[in-house]
Chains A and B, each alone.
Chain A
Amino acid sequence: MSTAILTLNNIGKFFETEELETHALKSINLTINQGDYVAISGPSGCGKSTLLSIMGLLDVSSSGEYYIEGVNVTDLSLDQAADVRNAKIGFIFQSFNLIDELSVFDNVALPLRYHADKPNSATIKKRVIECLEKVGLSHRISHKPNQLSGGQQQRVAIARALVANPAVLLVDEPTGNLDSKSADQVMEVLDQLNKAGTTICMVTHDPRYADMARTKVQLLDGAILQAPSIKIAS
């Protein structure tokens, strides 16, 4: 039986202004299991990124409950959420979000600097090199992000997401800022990671890359339209 990594029960998100209440997400129920490769797609403004933010504890839901590896993380404090993000979640952003002033090594090592176990330098180095090898960039370890191509920067971002051994990779439009060749390379890396057992949840509006996922979730107006092969939490 597959282990549930992420479980969302009736997750809703709405934004209030003085005159208006906008529902970005409406009662989302979703479970992502160990080893899944899920693509969330939908038109612009359908709530994909909002859903990913809540799943990554970057944002809080307005209603519902959210579990990571069976633990309720709905109402964590900011610091507790930071610990969970560090230990359980790896992020990959559309615009890479690498820190220009840090080298590739330091960018990748960054999550370990905030890790509760405070790993020593040797451990950090070993782990960073392992991750960079996985994405084929160990030879660029001393470079600065601006010395790399867009595709290489995104692969560094993937290495950074992997370095703390997260339970799941949350990927937001990973190819949005890349040319098609670089995009293909990044998607190939993600595919290989999933095949090696990494759980991935990816937001994309590109149907070609959504098809590469094992499972597709279609969002429209903040609600799940279609999730044919994954379990919808009851």
Chain B
Amino acid sequence: MSSFTYQLKQAFLSLKKKPGFVFSVISTMGITLGALLCVLTLAYSMLIKPLPYPEPDRLHKVISQNFYETGELKYEAFNYPSLINLYKNQTIFNDSALIFYGKDVISSLPNQPSTTIGYVTPEWFNLLGSEFVLGRGFEKTEAINTHNPVTIISYQTWLNEFAKDPEILSQNITIQGKSFRIVGVLSEAFIEPLIYYPGYNTYLWLPWDFNEATFLNDRWEASHPSYAFVGKLKKDITPQQAEQNITPLVNNLWQENVAGMSEQKGVYLNMQLKSFSDVIVGDSQTRLWLLLAGVFSLVLIASSNMMNLFVSRTAEQQRELCIRAAVGAKKADLYKTILVETGLLMGFSAIIALVVASLGFIFFKQNLTQFLPRVEELSLNYFTLLSALLLSFLLSVLFAQISVRTVNYRALNSTLQTSGKGTGIQVSKRLRSRLITSQVAIAMILIFFSISLYKHTTDIIDAELGFNVDKLSHLSLSVSSSVPPTPEETTDILSDIKTRLLQHQAVMKVSQSGTLLRGWAGYGIWLEGTEQPFSVEGISIDENYFSMINQSFISGDNFTAADIDDENLLLVINDKFAQALAPDGSAIGKKLNFGNEDIYTVVGVVKGVTMPTDKKISMRIYYIDRGFPSYIIQLKNNQALSRSQAADLVKEVSSKYTVYEFYDDLSAAVDERLIIQKVTTLTAASLAVITMFLAALGLYGVLSYSTKMRRFEIGTRMAIGAKGKDIISWNIKENGSAVLKGMVISLVVMLLLVFGFSEQLNQYVSLQLLPLLLLSFALISVLSMLTCYLPLRRFINRPVIHALKGNE
């Protein structure tokens, strides 16, 4: 048997006798290293791993920036004619594609699911090197202006909606009454570049011609955020050169076409190139760094705990080490013995860590795709395995070093010579205090930040919305026929659907209104008689809207039923906009226009409401549009309305509309908006609990070790008359200064962080955090006292001789 095998076997047998120690090490390091591996793999995916496309560094998205004359950015979005101009006339990309991100209903499927759709030009799939499990990508016959109704579906759609039907290519699907022949199914391995926003996956692709914004095709002045231009930059052209090349190409023609439009005076376009990786990663790096800081801190605190445990373990091994030294083991031999043991433990921890990391990947994929990019690509890979190997090796060496440093080789021999009576290897009081201090400081910082983050996110979640969503459902419709209904037909059909909804036994009240949680459209609006424009958000509502959601009026009146019937040019605005319109007076009666001849009159001002996660109240308008296919439905008590019931009801009235989106409970929509906050809350709470657990384990470890080492002193004190409570208060006093020092250090570090990162932490830091700080102090104090007390129990609750003899 080789020396290494022998030592490995000895280490295994030795550890087998200490299941508690082994469990503590493997569980603590397994979990924390697992969390670290998970986040490191994410960091690798986000920052290092090449995108899974051919020549990914050359792939760019072009962003159309609209600037005011003053140089202030107006918005970033393409107008359709400029987009086509760029697509047809650019010379700096080898290949380019257009995509429009939309959503619609597949009405040919029994459940009529809403699905996200990418309207693309054929080059899209070539650029991405897409592979197909069945069929093909789009071809020249499906290019712009061919109007060839074909479709490509994602692997998920094939799986979920067609049960992986091998005959899928012979089938058609219907969208807006138009039939599309399925010509391809993307491979399961296809990873869509999420260049629209994180978590927005596309499940169906249609040729560009069928995009939902065709009404904007000749509108130079109107932009849409869902248009995107992507291309593979020529090898010898830099992004800066490309920007200089295409900006005049786009801007000059645009300027010619908006020359007569007063609202576009002075406005100019600038083309900005962003690499796919920059677009995909976006501003998520801050979140990644925060996550990394969190898990690194956890590993730090866990490693600190492990140092304590390993030092205790070495102390326990005193006799064994003595015997080894007595029979000739050198210091290096003792080090090897300890290293094999720490290596074995870290090896097992790494295995657990890989399992934990895999579970973490699943959690990330289920919850964080909207929060972090490239999460769907997470899996155990060479990087993860290599990191696990490296980390476990480094930690093995670290723990072995720390352990062996506590062994005084000379003292070992003398210990043996004196039969070990009353002497032993010990960690100095200074090192012990430092371990406690560092433990407390790290724990304090982590707990305080976790609690603060938890409070911040729960405050957002629990914030008063200022409107009611209880017992409210939301139904929005889309056109399902190939021939859209005329405006008159639209009004009649939507009115009939409202009536039909009201007749349903579960429904108490219906408002033909936009949803209050999504779908706010942006408008430019002008105060009559001035050239002052305002950027506002608006939705169409009817007379029931405000009463149903309990939004209160500050002044003026609501729309009347007659106003709705006649589609009068009236507006209700919120107080924020009223303040901007008439800072010193009433906004009621003010006349506004949308840049055309129609003049709207303000008839009412309502109190502004904040949508969940909104940092401020926007300026808002409420107008009348009887052709707006959206309803808020108030249900009777204990009644429910399902999507399929709503779909049947719509179908009864007209086949020209289908259900686009249905929330049986609007609070679900609120929850959807709060997903990031909820995940953050969960993460912060978990971090606080894990930190408390690790801090408890660490403090207990160091104090338990310290108590063990001082058992003779404890025994002596008890022998001369100290009672249990005397020993407890003595131990608390002994360690109190180290705990206090840790708290002070944490306070200093937190203050430095607050001042150093004041900009980033501004929204989190306030005097309201003082109670949380006190709570953190209290938690750590209680924890410290408990960990001072618990290790003493084995001595103070038993006859003194146990402490004096050390036979626990």
A residues touching B (Cβ–Cβ < 8 Å)? 53, 56-60, 78-79, 82-83, 85-87, 90-91, 93-95, 97-99, 101, 110-111, 114-115, 160-161, 164, 177
| Complex contacts, B429 vs chain A, CB 8 Å | 101
Complex Cα distance A53/B718, Å?
13
Residue of A nearest to B426 (CB): A100
Nearest-Cβ distance from residue B581 to partner chain A, whole angstroms: 76
Of the candidates B723, B796, B797, the one having the most CB atoms from chain A within 10 angstroms of its own CB is B723
> Are B801 and A93 in contact, with the CB atoms below 8 A?
no
Complex Cα distance A115/B422, Å?
26
Complex Cα distance A199/B483, Å?
116
| Complex contacts, A98 vs chain B, CB 8 Å | 716
Known: A94-B421, A97-B716, A99-B713. A53 touches B721 (CB 8 A): no
Q: Which of A53, A59, A78, A86 contacts B720 (CB 8 A)?
A: A86
Complex Cα distance A14/B316, Å?
27
Nearest-Cβ distance from residue B721 to partner chain A, whole angstroms: 2
> Are B721 and A87 in contact, with the CB atoms below 8 A?
yes
User: Lowest 9 CB-CB distances: which A-B pairs, in order?
Assistant: A86-B721, A95-B422, A59-B801, A97-B716, A114-B721, A58-B800, A111-B720, A58-B801, A82-B723
Of the candidates B421, B716, B797, the one having the most CB atoms from chain A within 10 angstroms of its own CB is B716
Judged by a CB distance under 8 angstroms, whether B361 is at the interface is: no
| Complex contacts, B800 vs chain A, CB 8 Å | 57-59, 85
> Are B722 and A114 in contact, with the CB atoms below 8 A?
yes
| Complex contacts, A99 vs chain B, CB 8 Å | 713, 716-717
| Complex contacts, A177 vs chain B, CB 8 Å | 421
Complex Cα distance A79/B713, Å?
18
On chain B, the number of residues with a Cβ less than 8 Å from chain A's Cβ atoms is: 23
Complex Cα distance A85/B726, Å?
14
Judged by a CB distance under 8 angstroms, whether B715 is at the interface is: yes
> Are A164 and B797 in contact, with the CB atoms below 8 A?
no
| Complex contacts, B423 vs chain A, CB 8 Å | 95
| Complex contacts, B716 vs chain A, CB 8 Å | 93, 97-99
Complex Cα distance A114/B725, Å?
11
| Complex contacts, B715 vs chain A, CB 8 Å | 97
What 16 new A-B contacts, CB under 8 Å, besides A85-B800, A93-B719, A111-B721?
Answer: A53-B804, A58-B800, A78-B797, A82-B723, A85-B720, A90-B720, A91-B720, A97-B422, A97-B712, A97-B804, A99-B716, A101-B429, A110-B720, A114-B721, A114-B722, A164-B720
Q: Which of B422, B713, B719, B726 contacts A56 (CB 8 A)?
A: B719
| Complex contacts, A79 vs chain B, CB 8 Å | 723-724
Complex Cα distance A91/B716, Å?
9
| Complex contacts, A114 vs chain B, CB 8 Å | 717, 720-723, 726
Of the candidates A59, A82, A94, the one having the most CB atoms from chain B within 10 angstroms of its own CB is A82
| Complex contacts, A91 vs chain B, CB 8 Å | 719-720
Known: A58-B804, A59-B801. A78 touches B723 (CB 8 A): yes
> Are B721 and A85 in contact, with the CB atoms below 8 A?
yes
Interface SS majority for chain B: helix
| Complex contacts, B801 vs chain A, CB 8 Å | 53, 58-59
C-beta contact mask, B717-743 vs A, less than 8 Å → 1, else 0? Answer: 111111110100000000000000000
| Complex contacts, A87 vs chain B, CB 8 Å | 721
Complex Cα distance A115/B716, Å?
15
Complex Cα distance A177/B800, Å?
22
> Are A83 and B721 in contact, with the CB atoms below 8 A?
yes
Q: Which of A59, A90, A110 contacts B717 (CB 8 A)?
A: A110
Residue of A nearest to B718 (CB): A82
**In residues 410-429 of chain B, which contact A (Cβ within 8 Å)?**
421-423, 429
Complex Cα distance A127/B119, Å?
97
Residue of B nearest to A157 (CB): B716
Nearest-Cβ distance from residue A75 to partner chain B, whole angstroms: 12
Judged by a CB distance under 8 angstroms, whether B522 is at the interface is: no
Complex Cα distance A55/B720, Å?
14
Nearest-Cβ distance from residue A65 to partner chain B, whole angstroms: 17
Of the A-B pairs whose beta carbons lie under 8 Å apart in the complex, a sample of 10, sorted by A's number, is A53-B804, A56-B719, A60-B799, A78-B723, A78-B797, A82-B724, A99-B717, A110-B717, A115-B721, A164-B720
| Complex contacts, A57 vs chain B, CB 8 Å | 800
Nearest-Cβ distance from residue B506 to partner chain A, whole angstroms: 70
| Complex contacts, B796 vs chain A, CB 8 Å | 78
| Complex contacts, A101 vs chain B, CB 8 Å | 429
Residue of A nearest to B422 (CB): A95
| Complex contacts, B797 vs chain A, CB 8 Å | 78
Complex Cα distance A97/B799, Å?
17
| Complex contacts, B421 vs chain A, CB 8 Å | 94-95, 177
| Complex contacts, B712 vs chain A, CB 8 Å | 95, 97
| Complex contacts, B721 vs chain A, CB 8 Å | 82-83, 85-87, 111, 114-115, 164
| Complex contacts, A97 vs chain B, CB 8 Å | 422, 712-713, 715-716, 719, 804
Complex Cα distance A175/B422, Å?
15
Known: A99-B713, A114-B726. A58 touches B799 (CB 8 A): yes
Residue of B nearest to A107 (CB): B716
> Are B422 and A58 in contact, with the CB atoms below 8 A?
no
C-beta contact mask, B593-634 vs A, less than 8 Å → 1, else 0? Answer: 000000000000000000000000000000000000000000
Complex Cα distance A87/B721, Å?
8
Complex Cα distance A177/B717, Å?
21
| Complex contacts, A94 vs chain B, CB 8 Å | 421
Residue of B nearest to A95 (CB): B422
Complex Cα distance A110/B717, Å?
8
| Complex contacts, A160 vs chain B, CB 8 Å | 720
Complex Cα distance A57/B723, Å?
13
Residue of A nearest to B719 (CB): A91
Complex Cα distance A26/B97, Å?
98
Complex Cα distance A111/B796, Å?
17
Complex Cα distance A59/B423, Å?
22
Complex Cα distance A90/B804, Å?
15
Nearest-Cβ distance from residue B609 to partner chain A, whole angstroms: 65
C-beta contact mask, B367-405 vs A, less than 8 Å → 1, else 0? Answer: 000000000000000000000000000000000000000
Residue of B nearest to A99 (CB): B713
**In residues 760-808 of chain B, which contact A (Cβ within 8 Å)?**
796-797, 799-801, 804
Residue of B nearest to A115 (CB): B721
Nearest-Cβ distance from residue B273 to partner chain A, whole angstroms: 69
> Are A58 and B724 in contact, with the CB atoms below 8 A?
no
Nearest-Cβ distance from residue B673 to partner chain A, whole angstroms: 60
Nearest-Cβ distance from residue A91 to partner chain B, whole angstroms: 5
Complex Cα distance A35/B429, Å?
42
> Are A85 and B719 in contact, with the CB atoms below 8 A?
yes
Nearest-Cβ distance from residue B647 to partner chain A, whole angstroms: 73
Residue of A nearest to B725 (CB): A79
> Are B719 and A58 in contact, with the CB atoms below 8 A?
yes
| Complex contacts, B713 vs chain A, CB 8 Å | 97, 99
